[in-house]
Structures are given as structure tokens and as C-alpha cells.
């Protein structure tokens, strides 16, 4: 499973990249607005830090506008993937961008029919929003499972990118459901390291190593 970080924070992306487990980045207009910087400059800096796919979302609702933005985003860095919503306009834009070899991530996906549309149109990625479905009393992970099953059935090559993940259990369930990618907030990626037994075990190993070192130094000390 690939791990993407869902943020536009340079500090967070740099840190995740330094761990050596970062496969890509997803941004959205909310993340970008939070940074308060020029969009192009920000995305180019992100793309230079993370060589994997970096999703950049369009900010208009009409196909022509999305095509124009998508073409511009694609000139910013070779690893840009254009994010378009699963609307008729978004899918029209995807077709046009795809014809120019620009990869697209279809976002705001909340149902299997929407995911089938994305795959049929030739999306590189489809982003089912797990957390937002859960927030509304639906089962987000079941949607990921259903999309993976349907895509396998027809041999679609669109990669399933489980999005809107809120905690490590979402990542675990997305992996078991067969998602190709999990995109998660930095905090969740950090939490993936955590296990109390790791912390307890490490503390004991370090204490034992320190005790041995102290004993050896005492033995070596001149009398
Ligand atoms: C995905 O690409 C979106 O940016 C993101 O996962 C949305 O997550 P949220 O529901 O936590 O805002």
C-alpha cells in the first residue's frame, strides 16, 4: 500500500519525506488556503520535496475552467496530478486532460456509481472520502471495499486512493479493503508508528545498554 500525506504544509511534507515512507501528497483548496502562499510556488516546493504524485485540485466548477487550470498545473512540475470533482463538468475536463497525457485524481467520491464513472473516464486515481461518509452515518470503508471489488471484476486500472482518513484504524481497514493508496493527515501518519509495547520495549533496551556501558566504565576505571 502506498502512503500519501494529505496536507500542503512544507514542514509536514519534509518530515514525512525524511522517514522514507512517503509515496505522494494530496492537497486541496482548504490545505492550500491554510498556507497563505502563492499556489504555484507552494506546489513547486512540494513537488521538489516529494518526487511521487502530488495532487493539485482545480478551483472552478466548469469544464473549460478546469481544463485551463489543469493544463497550467501540469506545467508546474512533472509529478503533478490534477484533481477534479466527480461532476459531469469534472469528468469532461478529465477526458480532455487525459487526451493531453495529464493524469487526474477524481475527488469527492461518495458512491460506487461515481467511482465507476471515474474509472470508465480513465482516472489515474479515484478518491472515496471515508471519514466524511462515516460522519454522515454511512460506512466509508465499505465503499472502498466495494470499489476495489468492482474494479477488480472489470480490470480497471484506476488506483483506489482512500481519502479523508481520520485515524490509524481507517488506514488498517483501507489496507484490508484493498485500497492501493491511503492519503492521511500528517498526524495520522505519525500515529502509525505508535505502539505502547514499542515504547516500553525500547525504554528497557536503552536502559540495559546504558547500565552495561556504566558497568564496563566502572570496571575500566583505575583504582
Ligand atoms: C483528499 O484528497 C482530501 O484532501 C481529504 O482526504 C479530505 O479529508 P477531510 O475529510 O478530512 O477534509
Question: How much is the pLDDT for 216?
Answer: 95
Region 125-153: what's the mean pLDDT?
A: 98
How large a percentage of the chain has pLDDT more than 70? 100
Residue 40 among the catalytic residues: no
- Tell me how far apart the alpha carbons of residues 112 and 142 are, in angstroms, rounded to a whole number: 10
Among residues of the chain, what percentage have pLDDT more than 90? 98
Is the dihedral angle over the CA atoms 24, 28, 30, 34 positive or is it negative?
A: positive
pLDDT band (50, 70, 90) for residue 222: confident
Q: Which of 83, 100, 120, 204 is catalytic?
A: 83
Rounded distance from Cα 92 to ligand 1 centre (Å): 23
Q: Tell how far the Cα of 187 is from the centroid of ligand 1, in angstroms.
A: 13
Predicted confidence (pLDDT) at residue 157 exceeds the cutoff of 70: yes
Tens-place pLDDT, residues 6-38: 999 999 999 999 999 999 999 999 999 999 999
Domain boundaries, the chain: 2-192, 195-223
pLDDT of 50 over the 80 cut: yes
pTM: 0.95
What is 2-192's CATH topology? TIM Barrel (3.20.20)
Amino acid at each position: 500500500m502506498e502512503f500519501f500525506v494529505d496536507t500542503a504544509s512544507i514542514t509536514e511534507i519534509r518530515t514525512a519525506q525524511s522517514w522514507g515512507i512517503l509515496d505522494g501528497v494530496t492537497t486541496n483548496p482548504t490545505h492550500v488556503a491554510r498556507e497563505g502562499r502563492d499556489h504555484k510556488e507552494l506546489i513547486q516546493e512540494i513537488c521538489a520535496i516529494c518526487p511521487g504524485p502530488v495532487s493539485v485540485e482545480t478551483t472552478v466548477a466548469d469544464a473549460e475552467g478546469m481544463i485551463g487550470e489543469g493544463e497550467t498545473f501540469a506545467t508546474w512540475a512533472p509529478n503533478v496530478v490534477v484533481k477534479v470533482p466527480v461532476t459531469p463538468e469534472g469528468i469532461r475536463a478529465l477526458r480532455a486532460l487525459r487526451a493531453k497525457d495529464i493524469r487526474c485524481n477524481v475527488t469527492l467520491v461518495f458512491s460506487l456509481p461515481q467511482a465507476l464513472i471515474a474509472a470508465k473516464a480513465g482516472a489515474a486515481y479515484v478518491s472515496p472520502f471515508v471519514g466524511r461518509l462515516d460522519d454522515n452515518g454511512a460506512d466509508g470503508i465499505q465503499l472502498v471495499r466495494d470499489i476495489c471489488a468492482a474494479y477488480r471484476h472489470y480490470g480497471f486500472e484506476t488506483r483506489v486512493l482512500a481519502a479523508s482518513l481520520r485515524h490509524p484504524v481507517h488506514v488498517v481497514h483501507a489496507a484490508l479493503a484493498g485500497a492501493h493508496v491511503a492519503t492521511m493527515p500528517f498526524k495520522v501518519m505519525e500515529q502509525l508508528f505508535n505502539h505502547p509495547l514499542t515504547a516500553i520495549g525500547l525504554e528497557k533496551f536503552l536502559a540495559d545498554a546504558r547500565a552495561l556501558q556504566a558497568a564496563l566504565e566502572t570496571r575500566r576505571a583505575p583504582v
